[in-house]
Each structure stands twice: as structure tokens, then as C-alpha cells.
């Protein structure tokens, strides 16, 4: 009996391994093909274009702003979902995943329509969002924050509440206990949450295009650049920016892995 069972299992593992290898080859193959398509000189020249330098700068500024805002939201919301027990918690948990499951373009359209309502217009009077840099941040934030919340919730789920409670018996309020005991213990999770929001925002295209537009030297971020350059047939520039996006994404991936948080 032992022989056939073992053989069957070996076959199963071979199938799993083969499928994993095929998928990995697909991923690495498409990256390698893109990387060797143009010469380094052409890529560098494309990256030095004034519009693309602006898009790089705007992407870095908006993604960093978005990730910090997402973290500010994700810490209390993740804490609430992880520690509090209340009626409707499962529904709230599901509702906060809506930006993850909605098609990105739809998020942009919904934002655009929201800012056409009476309340939205009133907000625009104070701080314009539609077709502005603030709109880029908001479009990135809606989706990035959802990922950050999920990461922080997982982080708090893995941290016992007991040390926090002991701190309360030693004279802390709940907020002080969280600040002094829980957040230092959650710092890797916070780094991961901010990084994931940052990486997600960096690749955000649909909502930014629909809500903030694709105006060069104004609301053009790197994914918009890829699309704009492709639409005018400038493949070298599109590849150069794509490779830059790939490198930044890999950097974030490595950073999060080194911080020890599961993605």
C-alpha cells in the first residue's frame, strides 16, 4: 500500500511544483523581456524628460502623503476591528473591504460623482479635489487605506491585549497604554501597512485618471505617464517608467519582507 500512496503524493507535489514554476517563469519572463527591450542609455534619456521627472516627483510626494494618511487611519480602525466586540462588527469589517473589491476605475467614478453632490461641492469650495493634486492623494487614499487597515488589523490580532491591560493597572489610560506598550510592539506592522499603502498608491491608475485627470505637469503620476507615453507611441519612455515602477515595487516588497510582516 505504501508504494502507490507515496507515488501518488510525489505526483501531486510535482504538479504543484510545476505549476508554481510555470507562474514564476511567466512573472520573471515578462519583467526580463521588458528590462532588455531598450538600451540603458535610451531609458535614462526618457527618465530625464521634464514631464517624466515631474511625474516621478509627484508620485513620490503623493504616495508618501497617502501612506502616512492611510497609517493614521489604519491604526485606530485596525485597533477597533481587532479589539472591540460590538454588534455589526462583521458588517463593518466587510464594508471596509469595499475599496479592495471594487474595480479601481469605479472608485474614481464614484469619487467624481461624490464631489458633484451638494456636500461635495461645498468641500470643493474650501479645498478643491477634482482634477487637482489633492484629488490624486484622495484617489490613492481610498484604496491604499483599505489595505493599510487590513494589515493593521492583522498586526493587532497577533498582539495580546494583556500587556496593555497591565499598563492600565499601572496607571495608564487606555490611550496611554496603547501609545506606550502596543504601538511600539506594532511598529513592524505599521511599517508594513504604510509600505503596502505606498506601493498600492504608486500603481494606482484608474481612480487617479478619472478623478484627478491626466494633465501633464499637474496631475500626472507615473502610471499615467505609462499610459500617456503608450498612447502617443513612445514605447521607450513607457518602458523606462514601467521599469522604475517595478524597481520601486520590488524595493517595497523586500522592505516589508525584511520587516518580518506577511504581505
Q: Which residues bind another protein (CB under 8 A)?
A: 159-160, 162-163, 165-173, 180-181, 184-185, 187
Q: Using alpha carbons, select from 225, 70, 222 the residue that is nearest to residue 149.
A: 70
Least distance in angstroms from the C-beta of 149 to another protein = 22
* Minimal distance, residue 165 CB to another protein, in Å: 5
With beta carbons less than 8 A apart as the criterion, state whether 193 and 155 touch.
Answer: yes
Nearest CB to another protein, comparing residues 159 and 196: 159
Residue placing its CB nearer to another protein in the complex, 87 or 118: 87
Can you tell me which residue has the cell 496611554? 176
* CA–CA separation, 210 and 107 (whole Å): 9
CB of 228 to another protein, least distance (A): 46
> DSSP labels for 172-240?
--HHHHIIIIIHHHTHHHHHHHHHHHHHHHHT--HHHHHHH---TTTT--HHHHHHHHHHTT-HHHHHH
Residue whose CB is less far from another protein, 87 or 162: 162
Report which DSSP code applies to 45.
H
Task: Name the residue nearer to another protein (CB basis): 51 or 165.
Answer: 165
In this complex, which beta carbon is closest to another protein, that of residue 41 or of residue 162?
162
Give the three-class secondary structure for 116: coil
Judged by beta carbon, residue 123 or residue 180, the one nearer another protein is 180
Is 73 or 167 the residue whose CB approaches another protein more closely? 167
Contact 142, 111 (CB under 8 A): yes
Q: What is the largest CA-CA distance in the chain?
A: 77
Shortest distance, CB of residue 193 to another protein, whole angstroms?
18
Q: In angstroms, give the least distance from the CB of 83 to another protein.
A: 12
Minimum CB separation of residue 202 from another protein in Å reads: 30
If 0-12 CB within 10 Å is exposed, 13-18 middle and 19+ buried, where does residue 192 land? Answer: buried
CA distances for 107 relative to 111, 199, 260, angstroms: 6, 18, 31
Angle at the Cα of 247 (from 231 to 198), degrees rounded to 5?
90
Q: How far is the CB of 105 from another protein (least distance, A)?
A: 42
Amino acid at each position: 500500500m505504501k508504494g502507490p500512496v507515496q507515488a501518488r503524493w510525489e505526483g501531486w507535489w510535482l504538479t504543484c511544483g510545476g505549476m508554481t514554476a510555470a507562474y514564476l517563469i511567466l512573472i520573471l519572463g515578462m519583467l526580463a523581456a521588458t528590462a532588455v527591450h531598450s538600451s540603458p542609455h535610451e531609458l535614462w534619456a526618457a527618465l530625464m524628460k521634464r514631464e517624466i521627472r515631474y511625474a516621478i516627483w509627484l508620485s513620490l510626494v503623493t504616495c508618501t502623503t497617502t501612506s502616512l494618511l492611510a497609517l493614521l487611519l489604519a491604526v485606530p480602525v485596525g485597533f477597533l476591528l481587532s479589539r472591540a466586540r460590538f454588534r455589526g462588527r462583521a458588517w463593518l469589517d466587510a464594508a471596509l473591504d469595499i475599496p479592495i473589491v471594487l474595480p479601481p476605475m469605479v472608485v474614481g467614478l464614484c469619487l467624481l460623482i461624490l464631489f458633484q453632490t451638494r456636500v461635495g461641492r461645498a468641500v470643493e469650495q474650501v479645498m478643491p479635489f477634482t482634477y487637482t493634486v489633492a484629488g490624486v492623494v484622495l484617489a490613492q487614499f481610498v484604496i491604499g487605506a483599505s489595505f493599510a487597515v487590513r494589515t493593521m488589523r492583522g498586526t493587532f490580532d497577533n498582539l495580546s491585549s494583556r500587556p496593555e491591560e497591565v499598563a492600565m493597572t499601572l496607571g495608564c489610560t487606555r490611550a496611554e497604554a496603547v501609545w506606550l506598550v502596543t504601538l511600539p510592539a506594532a511598529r513592524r506592522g505599521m511599517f508594513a501597512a504604510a509600505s503596502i499603502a505606498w506601493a498600492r498608491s504608486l500603481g494606482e491608475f484608474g481612480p487617479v485618471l478619472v478623478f484627478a485627470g491626466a494633465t501633464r505637469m499637474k496631475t500626472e503620476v507615473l502610471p499615467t505617464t505609462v499610459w500617456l507615453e503608450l498612447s502617443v507611441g513612445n514605447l521607450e519612455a513607457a518602458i523606462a517608467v514601467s521599469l522604475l515602477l517595478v524597481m520601486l515595487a520590488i524595493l517595497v516588497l523586500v522592505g516589508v519582507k525584511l520587516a518580518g510582516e506577511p504581505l
